[in-house]
Chains A and B, each alone.
Chain A
Amino acid sequence: MSWETERTDINVYSQGDVDKWVYSTCNICSIGCGCYIAVKDEKIVGIKGNSAHPINRGRLGPKGENQWYANNSPDRLLTPMIRDSSGKLVPATWDEAMNLIIKKANDSIKQKGTNSIAIYSTGQGFLEDYYTIAKIGRAGLQTHLLDANTRLCTATTEFCLLQSFGADGSPASFDDIDETETLMLFGHNVAETGTVLFERIMERKKKTGKPFIITVDPRRTLTAKAADIHLQLYPGTNVALLNGIVHLILKNGWIDQSFIDNHTIGFQEMAESVKYWTPEKTSEVTGVPIDILLLVAAHLGKTPSLITTTLQGVYQSADATTACVAINNMHLIRGLIGKPGCGPLHMAGQPSSSANRTVGGVGTFPAQRNSANPSHIQEIARLWNIDEAKLPVGPEKGIEEQIDMMEMGQIGFFWNIGTNPMVSLPNRRRAKAAFEKTFVVVQDPFLTETDTVADVVLPTALWGEKEGVMENTDRTINLLRKAVNPPEGVRTDFEILLDFAKRMGLKDRDGNPLIAYTTTEECFEEWKSVSRGRPCDMTGITYDKLEKYNGLRWPVNEEHSEGTTRLYTDFKFPTETEYTQSFTKHQFTGRPLTKIEYERKNPNGRAILYPITYLPPAEQPTKEYPMWLTTGRLVWHWHTRTKTARSPLLHVTAPRGYVEINEADAELLSLLPGELIRISSPRGWIEVPARIGNVVQKGLVFVPFHFGSWERREAANELTADFTDPLSKQPTFKQSACKIEKLRTQHIVTEEDTLQSLANQYGISVDNLQKANALISPYDIQIGKILEIPASTINVPIPPYLPELKDGSF
């Protein structure tokens, strides 16, 4: 256990003592902090960290502490809604809503075929929900369109792991971060996206000076400021940087030849691919100075242990999967995997997106089964007692391909569960137009921006109102007990799915109900049998055991009854043809390889090294759109703020969208701090205040993606391009082109005007008026001169999150 001390973060608002504390897990980010939910008078009134949970020892992040306010929000949806003939969403009974859903699903199957049904779920649900989606979707509806918002967040994790190691599942765990000598945070702003993990890292750093931290990020984030070295590379150059680093590692012989010879294949081709990535070339492409490159490569080449984490700075960038595979390559050639303190730790974004991947609600078949391997499909058919022929196989389709299909009228029924794609999808106006062409069911605790395209809305239970398990980013399965009943009229996702299966009359091959379980615990027990013998084997888990041990990392079976800290300790990888989760994809084009091609490679238990090709981002600044645009998260909000905007503290702390601009660019444009400006791209425009500073580099602007109301023009995804990574099909949110336009009126100076009188007239300070017009002195204005008057300025002070204030260690 890393934490030497516990600190029980608590946020309760209650008159008198609470009635009970109910065991749970934080439902915000992917770290998976243990917690207890405070209940008084059958109402959630607070939360406290679980001091015995090894992941957080009682600590909670700012969003975690405040997530429960949403449960009591007065605007909870309490009844289903149906769009009526006048186009309005009106309240309906559950029977009316479900009957309409069943009718539309059946209509779609009859008119367009089974592949016209799409289920688009989430990374916020429970493993049992996802498993049920997988079973209903694949065996019941026989559709191949199962995707989730995990496509926007962790699809790249899955595909890079399949490419290199043969199966999903992060090789290293948080315990390895506690032991490592070097931690490379690659496109991973952990200080804002995983605050408790960041505290854990920094607590050790403060006490021991370890680990040596290298961050890679085009922005000077809070994480970058805490690092020993920050590589502030140009946008979209992750792969170029990695090629330069691996080139130097190879050139200097900092490799583990024995590991390469015995446990990998593909070394020569990989080495050949980085041959020309000299420090000079790498520096030119990435903007990282040569001396820093040499320093970093030497450190990475010599460190005895290394953890490399990745997150959206890689996954949502050009060459996403390729960059992660390049990181896997680096670990493999150094032999830094399967050992304490070693391995890639490709993160997840959401609290249970990993579970969705593991159980097959998205991506491949349940329990990491290969949909191109007939024996795997036969096995699933046997486990589910259905006809093998009914299971759709082959490569999956990501949400962006589904948007293409909607545009072409091929999807007749789109079931949106626990996500808000009208804010989170790139190029959202295009997405909206596509969604409008199909029947859309939205399942959410609140009305969201996506309800503008919904035909039916189903109100669902929130965290604390249901039971189930989640899988965090390091394979830990955590339990969440039910603390209170959902509000009257509200159902859990699980209950809705079971009701749907029953009303659809989904049966197994013997005519029995396809879904025989009635509780989440029964569902989990069935899932365990499906997981048996697979890398994610969970046969050794029970709900009670999860509570007793405060989470367990899979595999958990007879051999590993208390879970598995790290994978591949025997340096054997799940790449045998009949066992592997995937025959992998062509590393450049993303085309799935055939079984024969895979067998020809003959990895047979060895990891796979790949040649790495750098491809610049699909969209780059042009004459018309000369700036880079990147988007991302704030520490104070979660995704599209469905929950966090309902917490008074979080909302007040970060109430609006903005754009971050480098001070040199701002000076060039004479922009004022907080000045309302327009950011446009070939897709659309927003008008937001400017935050000026040095967090972003020159030529780059940053817009947080949380804010997406249709009324206020501040949604980052009005601007983003909807290109995707060829392997993971994850959209490239991080690199688009844009331009900045000032929203100013003009004033022609008359003989009566002074700067002071003009300032008074337009409600602006003299100083700002002077600055906005680049006037050196107040006397620079002359009659006839045209002055620009900014439309308005809005202060956007986003305070940093300071966990030190909680334990007084600052």
Chain B
Amino acid sequence: MLQLKELYSDLQNQTEKAIKEIENSDHSIAILLQTILREQLEMIKKLMLELSNDGAELKNMTEFLTIIYHDNEIANPTFRAWKRAVEWMSLPYLESVRNLEPLFQEIKTNLEHSAAELERIYGAKQTKYIIPSFYISTLR
């Protein structure tokens, strides 16, 4: 559980940083990405609150976790689209994209680690509908 707390704490920091990097743009893709990241952050905060309780139960975290994973799953391609848009339309966000790139990678990696940890603690059956297929290794 401690590892999960640390992972989600990192995730919160990374998401906050990502939001800051993109909050100044009113481009369509940026607006989408901001909306996704803000929801992701809101859910991480709720999750952290739940985790701060002793003996946090999966059933109380399911909703937050599912939304976080699904947000991240759409945030990644949206970020890649944003990167292309910035390059193609010469938008003044190249620096921001450079900063965001490692952040998105770190967020994805953290969520993969968290997926493995959740599966270890609660089992594949319990987490099947929480963690999207692509965050869990299918090498068995």
Contact = CB atoms under 8 A, between A and B. Distances in A.
A615 B131 CA distance: 30
A54 interface: no
B58 interface: no
A374 B62 CA distance: 14
Interface in B64-81: 66-67, 70-71, 73-74, 76-78, 80-81
A724 B81 contact: yes
A431 to B, nearest CB: 13
A592 to B, nearest CB: 5
A94 interface: no
A383 interface: no
Nearest to B73: A395
Interface stretch (B2-10, B13-21, B29-37): B29-37
A632 interface: no
Interface string A372-398: 101000000000000001001111010
Given A144-B134, A619-B85, A591 B125 contact: no
A114 interface: yes
B23 interface: no
A726 interface: yes
B67 A594 contact: yes
A589 B32 contact: yes
Nearest to B139: A113
B67 A389 contact: no
B78 A726 contact: yes
Contacts of A395: 70, 73, 132
Contacts of B28: 318, 615-618
Interface in A18-53: none
Nearest to B135: A394
Interface in A390-430: 392-395, 397, 400-401, 404
Secondary structure dominating the interface of A: loop
A596 B63 contact: yes
B89 A737 contact: yes
B80 A404 contact: yes
A619 B70 contact: no
Contacts of A737: 88-89
A70 B125 CA distance: 50
Contacts of B35: 588-589
Contact of A594 (B39, B63, B76): B63
A685 interface: no
A591 B133 contact: no
Contacts of A619: 85, 88-89
B52 interface: no
A400 B39 contact: no
A115 B129 contact: no
A115 B133 contact: yes
Interface string A581-601: 000000011111010110000
Contact of B32 (A110, A722, A726): A726
B46 to A, nearest CB: 13
Contact of B66 (A142, A389, A594, A622): A594
A588 B71 CA distance: 12
Main secondary structure of the interface of B (DSSP, over half): helix
A432 interface: no
Contacts of A723: 29, 81, 84-85
Contacts of A95: none
Interface string A696-726: 0000000000000000000000000111101
Interface string B101-129: 00000000000000000000000110011
Nearest to B128: A393
Contact of A374 (B78, B81, B84, B129): B129
Interface in A604-634: 615-620, 622, 624
B42 interface: no
Given A615-B28, A721-B88, A723-B29, A590 B134 contact: no
A116 B137 CA distance: 10
A726 B74 contact: yes
A91 interface: no
A112 interface: yes
Contact of B138 (A115, A401, A616, A721): A115
B106 to A, nearest CB: 15
Nearest to A729: B77
Given A389-B124, A401-B77, A726-B78, A142 B70 contact: no
Contact of B77 (A392, A591, A592, A724): A724
Of the listed residues B31, B39, B85, B134, the one surrounded by the most CB atoms of chain A closer than 10 A to its CB is B134
A722 B78 CA distance: 11
A401 B74 CA distance: 10
A110 B137 CA distance: 12
**Residue from B27, B62, B129 with most neighbouring chain A CB atoms (10 Å):** B129
Interface string A73-93: 000000000000000000000
Given A113-B137, A144-B133, A622 B74 contact: no
Given A393-B133, A400-B77, A142 B71 contact: no
Given A682-B87, A726-B32, 15 more contacts: A111-B139, A113-B140, A115-B133, A115-B134, A394-B131, A394-B132, A395-B132, A589-B39, A589-B71, A590-B74, A591-B67, A594-B62, A615-B31, A618-B27, A683-B88
Question: Which A-B residue pairs are the 5 nearest by beta carbons?
Answer: A113-B138, A682-B88, A394-B132, A114-B138, A144-B133
19 contacts: A111-B139, A114-B138, A116-B138, A318-B28, A374-B128, A393-B129, A394-B129, A394-B132, A404-B76, A588-B32, A590-B74, A591-B67, A594-B66, A618-B28, A618-B81, A619-B85, A619-B89, A624-B90, A726-B32
Interface of A: 110-116, 142, 144, 318, 372, 374, 389, 392-395, 397, 400-401, 404, 588-592, 594, 596-597, 615-620, 622, 624, 682-683, 721-724, 726, 737
